[in-house]
Amino acid sequence: MPDRTDLVYAYDGSFEGLMCCVFESYEQKENPSIIRPPGVQQSLFDTAKWIETDEHKADRVFNSIPSKISSKAQELIKLGFLTCAPNKELLIYHFLRLGFKYGCKVMTMLTDDTVCSLQKAVRHLTSESQKFMGFVRFSVYGEVLVAVIEPKNFVLPLLSVHFCDRFRNETFMIYDKTHSMALIYRSQKAELIFADELTLPEVDGTEIEYRQLWKQFYKTIAIESRNNPQCRMALMPKRYWDHMTELDDSIEQAKSKGPDQWRVAETATEILPTSIGALASPFQYPTRK
C-alpha cells in the first residue's frame, strides 16, 4: 500500500462505517493516517475523503475476521470501538491490517504498540463497566427507575445485559451523561437512543426517605476503627461519587415534603426520552436519523 501521510478518512461514527474504512483502504490500496469520526475538528491543511457506510462492505470485513484472524480478534475490535481511546479508529484499523497479515498470532504480539494499546484500552473499558455494575444507583420516578452515570468509555452496551437480566420485570433508564445516550428498558425490550438532555422532576418524599435510609445503612455497617480513605479511593474512585446515593451530602439536608408539594411522574412517558433513535446492536452506536 502506498505510504501517504496526508490521507484522511472521514466516516459517520458507526461501527459499520469504520469497517467500510478498512474495506476502502484495501480496495483502493490506500493507507490513511487519520480516520476521523463526526465532531472532530478538521486541520487547516488536510482534505478528508468521505467514506460512505455500506452494510454489505462492512459485513464482508467483519465476517472475514474469525476465519482470517480469530473470533477473539473480532470480539476485541467490537470492544475496542466502545473505548475512550482518542485514536481508537486507527488502532482498530492497524490491528486488522496486522491480523490479516499474521493471522491469529497477532493476539499474542504484545510488544507491538498497536496490539498493546488496543488491549489496554479494552481492559480499561471492561474494568470500568464492571465497576458501574456495582456503582449504579437508581431512583424511583413514578413507574420508572432512573440512574445517571458519567463514564469515560461507552459502557451502556456492556451494562445492558447485566441490568436487563437483573430488572427484567421493571421499566428503567440509565442515562450516560458523557455520551448523551440512554439505555431504555421497557416491556422486556432494550434499546439505546440519543438523549442530548435529561430533565428529571423532583423526587417525592418517599424516595428521599429511602435515600436517607440507605445513607444511614452505609454509615451503620462501617467499622470506624478500620476506616481507610486511601483504600476506599483505590477501590471506589472519586469520579464515581457524584451519582452514588450513600456519598451525596445533600440528602442529609433534604426534608421530606408532602406529596402535594412534589411533581411526581405518574407514567413512564413523562421520564423516558421521546427522541427517535435506531435500535442499537450490542456493539455499535445508533445512527442518527
Q: Tell whether 288 is covered by a domain.
A: no
Containing structural domain, residue 169:
136-194
Residues 118 and 144 both lie in one domain: no
Q: State how far the Cα of 99 lies from the Cα of 115, in Å rounded to an integer.
A: 10
| Residue 242 per-residue DSSP state | G
Q: Which of 126, 159, 174 is the last residue of a domain?
A: 126
Per-residue confidence of the chain (289 residues) as pLDDT tens digits? 455 557 999 999 999 999 999 999 999 999 999 999 987 766 656 678 999 999 999 999 999 999 999 999 999 999 999 999 989 999 999 999 999 999 999 999 999 999 999 999 999 999 999 999 999 999 998 889 999 999 999 999 999 999 999 999 999 999 999 999 999 999 889 999 988 888 888 878 888 888 888 888 888 888 888 888 888 888 888 888 888 888 877 655 555 444 443 333 333 344 554 443 333 343 444 443 3
Residue 108 within any structural domain of the chain: yes
Q: Is residue 260 part of a domain?
A: no
- Number of structural domains (the chain) is 3
- 14: exposed, middle or buried (C-beta count within 10 Å: 0-12, 13-18, 19+)? buried
Q: For residue 3, tell me if it sits in a domain.
A: no
Distance CA 92, CA 9 (A): 14
213 and 170 both lie in a single domain = no
What is the strand order of the sheet 189-194 is part of?
139-141, 144-149, 172-176, 181-186, 189-194
C-alpha cell at 76: 476485541
Examine residue 158 and state whether it is found in any structural domain, yes or no.
Answer: yes
247 part of a folded domain: yes
Look at residue 251 in the predicted model and tell me its pLDDT.
58
Pair 66, 167 in one domain = no
Asked if residue 141 and residue 120 are part of one domain, the reply reads: no
Residue pair 141/201 in contact (Cβ under 8 Å)? The answer is yes
Q: Are residues 107 and 55 in the same domain?
A: yes
Q: Compute φ and ψ for 112, nearest 5 degrees.
A: -80, 130
* Alpha-carbon span 52 to 178, nearest angstrom: 27
Helices assigned H by DSSP within 200-262: 205-220, 229-235, 250-253
Grid cell digits, residue 155: 459502557
Does some domain include residue 263?
no
Q: How far apart are CA 201 and CA 208, in angstroms?
A: 13
Note whether 16 and 114 are same-domain residues. Answer: yes
Together in a domain, 26 and 122: yes
In this prediction, residue 84 carries a pLDDT of 96
Asked if 182 and 244 sit in the same domain, the reply is no
Is residue 14 domain-shared with residue 121, that is, in the same domain?
Answer: yes
Shared-domain flag, residues 21 and 122 = yes
Q: What predicted TM-score, i.e. pTM, was given to this entire model?
A: 0.82
As a whole number of angstroms, the distance between CA 165 and CA 2 comes to: 49
Whether 110 and 118 have beta carbons less than 8 Å apart is answered as no
- pLDDT score for 242: 87
Is 250 domain-assigned?
yes
Q: Count the Cβ atoms, other than its own, within 10 Å of residue 227.
A: 9
Pairwise CA distance, residues 232 & 222, whole Å: 12
Whether residues 76 and 114 share a domain: the answer is yes
If asked whether residues 214 and 181 sit together in one domain, one would say no
